[in-house]
A and B are shown apart, each in its own frame.
Chain A
Amino acid sequence: MLIPHPLLGARDAQEFTYLGDASLMDRPDPNGPEAEAAFCDYVFLRDNPAGVHRELWFHEQGDRSWLVVTRDTVTHEILGAELARDVKRGAQT
């Protein structure tokens, strides 16, 4: 597989370490109501879609950036890749 790194262009997937669902970026508020239940969902529950999936890849053998890669789990087509920090900042503003 090739991953289109937003800064470095197409890179072989072997350079990356896979983590999983990009929902891991949405860490619950530790002080919020029902924080423990929210963390339980956050830590243990994932969607497992057949189709479009946003997921985290770490460019470990490269520039060490975390990417949010949008991939179709059925066709393995990669629909996009963004720097995770940009995604997170975008979500915060």
Chain B
Amino acid sequence: MTRLTGGLIDREKPLDFTFDGRSYSGYAGDTLAAALMANGVDLIGRSFKYHRPRGVLSAGSEEPNALVTLRDGARAEPNTRATVAELYAGLTARSQNHVGSLERDLLAVNDLLSPLFAAGFYYKTFMWPRTFWEKLYEPAIRRAAGLGALSMEPDPDAYDKGFLHCDLLVIGAGAAGLMAALTAGRAGAKVILADEDMRPGGRLLAESDLLNDAPAHEWVRAVRAELASFPNVRFMPRTTVFGVYDHGIYGAVERVADHLPTPGDGVRQTFWRITAKRAVLAAGAIERHIPFADNDRPGILLAGAMRAYANRWATLPGRAGAPVAVFTNGDDGHRTARDLVAKGVPVLGVVDTREDAQAFGDYEVFRGATVTGTRGRRGLRAIQITRGATATWHDVGALGVAGGWNPNVHLASHHRGRPVWKADLLAFVPGADGPKGLFPAGAVAGRGGTASALADGVRAATTALADIGMTAPKVALPEASDVPHAQAAFWHVPGKRRAWVDFQNDVTVKDIALAHTENMRSVEHLKRWTTLGMATDQGKTSNIAALAVMAEQTGQTIPGTGTTIFRPPYTGVSLSVLGGGDTGKHFRPTRLTPTHDWAAAQGATFVEVGPWMRAQMFPRAGEGHWRETVDREVTAVRSAVGICDVTTLGKIDVQGADAAEFLNRVYANMMATLKVGRVRYGLMLREDGHLYDDGTCARLGEDHFVVTTTTANAGAVYRNMEFARQCLWPDLDVQLISTTDAWAQIAVAGPKSRALLERIVDDTDLSNEAFPFMACAALTICGGLRARLFRISFSGELAYELAVPARYGHALMERLAERGADLGVTPYGTEALGVLRIEKGHATGAEITGQTTASMLGLGRMVSAKKDALGAVMSRREGLAAEAWRLVGLKPVGGDGPILAGSHLFTEGAVRTLDTDQGWVTSACYSPNLGRHIALGYLEHGDTRMGERIVAANPLEGQEMAVEVVSPDFVDPEGVRLRD
């Protein structure tokens, strides 16, 4: 391993790692890219389209080339940028996008065929025949031109999400960001300082310039210590603020454990939503390159990145001892040459496009010259320098390219703010139409010199705090200076060979020219035709160069050519962390009924009903098939007594002097006339006249009702009733509260239900005379427990629902089971509940679909014509009133077998078309009481077609069955039992 002197790596802590199975060693503080470079590994991957050998281009998150698959197995993470992957002990990485070895990629043949693969090639070539696209062309192309592959295994790590609030969010901990945080910290403001790097400092860590006559990292350390001493400042390293959202909300991802050998011990990443009163954007700038012939070889990198590798990580690409060159259009490239000379690196010289270039130190300057070619198949070996008509080849190991710096305007443009071109800087800076409360500072604002950036951080923080009424103290700046940064508007070296603009997507200057020739004149069209800027790096290093090339084609200025729109995220964000751990079981809360544990102890199986887990059935030993269980439970309810938890139905407590009037306006049928101590079935309509929900209304007092909703609509009905109360009729004296979770409710159903309840209730006469069908009462049970009893029936049997405070639900279930043992009491689940209600023709969600009218259920007359209510006017409109479908019962004729729910109904012999379609089957089951399969469905004019033979058909599967139209009330149609 070869290292230069100095650097911010910990040479006391060597770390072993592997790349493509080979073992290497680096130091704590290295990135994978730095460690590979120090081990002489410059070839890291293959390009997307042409499979060209590629190495490191940058030293940051803008990296387009050095993408690897990090880790193994389920944790394998493709397309990870080696330039930001922090080295840890035992790191394993693999190169991507090659067939055979990385060194001898078989698909490198694509590079020889490159004349075929120009921009728009796919669109033009694979047009015909059309059906071949999906089955043949696209899969083949995707296989050939892909990057890393997913592990296809579930992510084993934990992710979290959280909310943070602050007065000032400082994005970026470079010179400007640190000063902004320091200023706000000293002012006593609540500050969050976030930076994507593993340590604060930004470019200060990459430069050799002194602060207070000492290396800059020493000043950074002191500032970091002071910030740590403030309880009001939170520094978040390894945290990328990736997006700006409305009203000062920022999205950020903190990589909590990505840098640890095993990220799975705690949370791997956290998704933060940061609400900041104000923010300072100090995200720095990204260096751009200058396209020239064959500029994509390993060993050619950005000059600023070269400086960062030398100064921060004490390493350089290229063969040991080989000279290094710099190609620049401005002063900045000379900083690299100066620093390398200081480190004792042999420098061939600086190729400067300007005739009047000044050297920063003792090295040769090739003035008015350009780099016009390179050699070296797997790594740079030589460059061609051209001045006027003279071209000479020079052996080099590495070349730094300095094309100027692009302020990191991304976040400032997330609300469609348009960056503004600064001709003196040859760069875009944030415009005035950026997100409210976001203050650009330092290099982002075009003030990237060290002294300028430091001062600008103080200015931005002071301005931002003043905006929220806080006063910042005077903060002394460290001694620093701005290095000269004159620059020429030189964008690319013209030539016949390919010159890469976008490395990751293999877009060259020629491709952009071709796009222009083919009339892709808008920058958005250019982007889509060539795929420039559309790779995982989103063109961070290529977009401006592309605009410059395009401007040259169109004869326009660069700002006249435009910019593409920036959208979040700034860098890639994993879906796992956006989910914040809300996966699998944690996707949403699971609601358990009060008798859940009791049911589980009885061996119940459970089913998801909305957010609830409900007991589906209670299988007993020896029951081999689920239907044996359901048939037994149904039979028990019809012959003895069954108990079932119905807590999940929504319950809304309605109180107030105008409660009756309010319910009268909310329910389609008359509610004001309901007597105290009685229950009424209620239909609720949407304002468009369709059926919305059904339930029961129990009047416990003159000004006190309890209404129920279906399980699915509990939340929506409550919301809608609050809408009616607050937005339509705020003058009614009525209050609502949802009590679904406050009361456990148990259905006790069957001919022996009264006998069972008489053993439970305290001193209440349950005789048919004293407590008839549709009676209700508040009473006590089990020696003083307050309860509510409703004599209502979903099963069609003599039945009650008994409610107790939720914490007693479990005990009540136990007590009912124990006291009813000799009566044959049987717990039943949702399956039996479904069979019981189908046997009675009662509607549920399968029938009340949102397109159902009251008439379709045969309940048209319930919609009162004497009063107004939600949906009443619209329910009478012609189209709805003429709806011909009616709920009917169906049973098979000529044998028995299951009727398929979803089948459509036709008259016998009719052609199966939409025109002859007469309805459909909504629910179906086996009825143990009838000893046959039955179903419910909607049939045109069904109420007048009893006894008719029709066909239930499923043309998709070629199934059909002859069925007879019968009453939907299959069991006890006279309703004797429930009134008994």
B427-438 contact mask (Cβ, 8 Å, vs A): 1 or 0: 000000000100
**In the complex, residue of chain A having the shortest beta-carbon distance to the beta carbon of B736:** A64
Q: How far is the CB of B477 from chain A (nearest CB, A)?
A: 35
The reply to whether B730 and A88 form a contact with Cβ atoms under 8 Å apart is yes
Known: A39-B687, A42-B687. A1 touches B726 (CB 8 A): no
Q: Could you tell me if A56 and B727 are in contact, using CB atoms closer than 8 angstroms?
A: yes
Flag if A39 contacts B874 (CB, 8 Å): yes
Is A76 in contact with B728, judged by CB distance below 8 angstroms? no
Report chain A residues within 8 Å CB of B246: 1-2, 76
Question: Nearest A residue to B870 by beta-carbon distance?
Answer: A27
In the complex, which residues of chain A have a beta carbon less than 8 angstroms from the beta carbon of B727? 24-25, 56, 66, 84-85, 88
For window 663-704 of chain B, which residues contact chain A by CB distance below 8 Å?
Answer: 687-688
Q: How far is the CB of B516 from chain A (nearest CB, A)?
A: 33
Chain A, Cβ-Cβ closest to B729 = A88
B719, CB-defined interface residue at 8 Å: yes
**Cβ contact within 8 Å between B726 and A36:** no
Q: Mark B226-263, 1 if CB is under 8 A from A, else 0.
A: 00000000000000000001111100000000000000
Q: Are A30 and B872 in contact (CB under 8 A)?
A: yes
Interface string of B274-285 (1 = CB under 8 A from A): 010000000000
Residues from chain B with Cβ under 8 Å of A27 in the complex: 687, 728
- Residues of A contacting B247 in the complex (Cβ-Cβ under 8 angstroms): 1-2, 76, 78
Within 8 A of B (CB), among A36-75: 36, 39-40, 42-44, 56, 58, 60, 64-66, 75
Distance in angstroms between the alpha carbons of A1 and B435 in the assembled complex: 13
- Give B699-752 interface residues, CB cut-off 8 Å to A: 715, 719, 722-723, 726-728, 730-731
Which chain A residue shows the least CB distance to B724?
A27
Could you say which of A25, A58, A77 contacts B722, with CB atoms under 8 Å apart?
Answer: A58
Cβ of B731 and Cβ of A92 under 8 Å apart?
yes
Cross-chain contact of A60 among B163, B436, B719, B874 (Cβ < 8 A): B719
A70 to chain B, nearest CB (A): 14
Q: Is B528 an interface residue when CB atoms closer than 8 A count as contact?
A: no
Q: How far is the CA of A19 from the CA of B163 in the complex (A)?
A: 25
List chain A residues, Cβ under 8 A from B722. Answer: 58, 64, 66
CB distance from B563 to the nearest CB of A (A): 20
B-chain residues with CB within 8 Å of residue A43 when the two chains form the complex: 687-688, 874
* CB interface residues, A 7-52, toward B, < 8 Å: 12, 17, 19, 24-25, 27-28, 30-31, 35-36, 39-40, 42-44
B719 touches A17 (CB 8 A): yes
- Give the total of B residues in contact with A, Cβ under 8 Å: 26
A1 to B727 alpha-carbon distance, docked (Å): 23
Residue pair B248, A2 in contact (C-beta under 8 Å): yes
Assess whether B877 is in contact with A36, with CB atoms less than 8 Å apart.
yes
Q: Give complex CA distance A43, B876 in Å.
A: 14
Chain B residues with CB under 8 A of A75: 415
Q: How far is the CA of A67 from the CA of B872 in the complex (A)?
A: 26
Given known pairs A17-B719, A43-B687, the reply for A36 and B876 (CB within 8 Å) is yes
**B135–chain A nearest beta-carbon distance, Å:** 41
Q: How far is the CB of A75 from chain B (nearest CB, A)?
A: 8
Q: Which residue of A lies closest to B723 (CB)?
A: A66
Which of A1, A2, A19, A77 is close to B723, meaning CB atoms less than 8 Å apart?
A19
Which of chain B's residues have a CB closer than 8 A to the CB of A84? 726-727, 730
Given contacts A89-B730, A89-B731, contact A36 B873 (CB under 8 A): yes
Judge if B653 is at the interface, Cβ distance under 8 Å: no
- B868 lies within 8 A of chain A by Cβ: yes
Q: Is A88 touching B873 in the complex (CB atoms < 8 A)?
A: no
- Counting contact residues on chain A (CB < 8 A from B), the size range is 20 to 34
In the complex, which residues of chain A have a beta carbon less than 8 angstroms from the beta carbon of B249?
A: 1-2
Q: How far is the CA of A7 from the CA of B766 in the complex (A)?
A: 48
- Whole-angstrom distance between the alpha carbons of A78 and B715 in the complex? 27
Measured in the bound complex, the distance between the Cα atoms of B867 and A31 in whole Å is: 10
Distance of A3 from chain B, by nearest CB (Å): 9
B728→A25 contact, CB < 8 A = yes
> B415 to chain A: which residues have CB within 8 Å?
75
**Chain A hits for B730, CB < 8 A:** 84-85, 88-89
B719 closest partner in A (C-beta): A58
Given the complex, which residues of B lie within 8 Å of A60, measured CB to CB? Answer: 715, 719
The smallest C-beta distance from A85 to any residue of chain B, in angstroms, reads 4
Q: Is the CB–CB distance between B719 and A35 below 8 Å?
A: no
Report how far A66 CA is from B725 CA in the complex, Å.
10
Interface string of B289-325 (1 = CB under 8 A from A): 0000000000000000000000000000000000000
Cα(A36)–Cα(B247), bound, Å? 41
Q: Which residues from chain A contact B868 at a C-beta distance below 8 Å? A: 30-31
Interface centre among B163, B248, B687, B873 (most CB of A within 10 A): B873
User: Are B719 and A88 touching (Cβ within 8 A)?
Assistant: no
Assuming the contacts A39-B687, A76-B247, asked whether A88 and B876 have C-beta atoms less than 8 A apart, the reply is no
Q: Which residues of A contact B872 (CB under 8 A)?
A: 30
Interface centre among B163, B246, B415 (most CB of A within 10 A): B246
Query: Which residues of chain A come closer than 8 Å to B687, judged between CB atoms?
Result: 27, 39, 42-43
- Bound Cα distance A38, B245 (Å): 39
Contact B723 A88 (CB under 8 A): no
A residues in contact with B873, CB < 8 Å: 28, 30, 35-36, 39
CA gap between A64 and B718 in the complex, in Å: 10
Contact A88/B688 with A2-B275, A19-B723 known, Cβ cut-off 8 Å:
no
Cα separation A28 to B873 with both chains bound (whole Å): 10
Chain B positions within 8 Å of A36 at CB level: 873-874, 876-877
Query: Which chain B residues border A12 with CB–CB below 8 Å?
Result: 163, 275
The reply to whether A65 and B726 contact each other, CB–CB distance below 8 Å, is: yes
Contact B874–A88 (Cβ < 8 Å): no
* CB of B400, distance to nearest CB on chain A (Å): 43
Residue numbers in B under 8 Å from A25 (CB-CB): 727-728
Give the shortest distance, in Å, between B688 (CB) and chain A (any CB).
Answer: 5
Q: Which residues of A contact B877 (CB under 8 A)?
A: 36, 40
Give the residue name and chain of the B residue nearest to A44 (CB): B688
**Cα distance A27–B687 when bound, in Å?**
10
Shortest A6–chain B CB gap in Å is 13
Closest Cβ–Cβ distance, residue A80 to chain B (whole Å): 14
Looking at the assembled complex, report how far the CB atom of A29 sits from the nearest CB atom of chain B, in whole angstroms: 9
Q: Are B275 and A88 in contact (CB under 8 A)?
A: no
Please measure, in the bound complex, the distance between the C-alpha atom of A24 and the C-alpha atom of B724, giving whole angstroms: 10
Chain B residue at minimum C-beta to C-beta distance from A24: B727
C-alpha gap A64/B877 in the complex (Å):
33
Return chain A residues, CB-CB under 8 Å to B688: 43-44
Q: Please indicate the chain B residues that have their CB under 8 angstroms from the CB of A2 in the complex.
A: 246-249, 275
Bound state CA distance, A36 and B868, in angstroms?
13
- Whether B248 pairs with A88 at a CB distance below 8 angstroms is no
- What are the residues of chain B within 8 A of A58 when measuring CB–CB? 719, 722-723
Nearest chain B CB to A78's CB is how many angstroms away?
Answer: 7
Across-interface contacts of B874 in A (CB, < 8 A):
36, 39-40, 43
Partner of A88, one of B245, B436, B715, B728: B728
Whose C-beta in chain A lies nearest to the C-beta of B688? Answer: A43
Q: How far is the CA of A27 from the CA of B245 in the complex (A)?
A: 35
CB A64 to nearest CB in B, in angstroms, measures: 6
For the complex formed, measure the closest distance between the CB of B251 and the CB atoms of chain A, giving whole angstroms: 13
With A and B bound together, what is the CA distance between A66 and B728 in angstroms?
A: 11
Write the chain B residue with the least CB distance to A66.
B726
A12 to B275, CA, bound (A): 9
**7 nearest A-B residue pairs (beta carbon):** A85-B730, A30-B868, A2-B247, A76-B246, A1-B246, A85-B726, A66-B726
A residues with CB within 8 A of B:
1-2, 12, 17, 19, 24-25, 27-28, 30-31, 35-36, 39-40, 42-44, 56, 58, 60, 64-66, 75-78, 83-85, 88-89, 92
Residue pairs across A and B with Cβ atoms less than 8 A apart, 7 shown, are: A1-B247, A24-B723, A31-B868, A36-B874, A58-B719, A60-B719, A84-B730
12 further interface pairs, Cβ-Cβ under 8 Å (given A40-B877, A78-B247): A24-B723, A30-B872, A31-B868, A36-B877, A39-B874, A42-B687, A58-B723, A75-B415, A85-B726, A85-B727, A88-B730, A92-B731
B interface vs A, CB < 8 Å? 163, 245-249, 275, 415, 436, 687-688, 715, 719, 722-723, 726-728, 730-731, 868, 872-874, 876-877
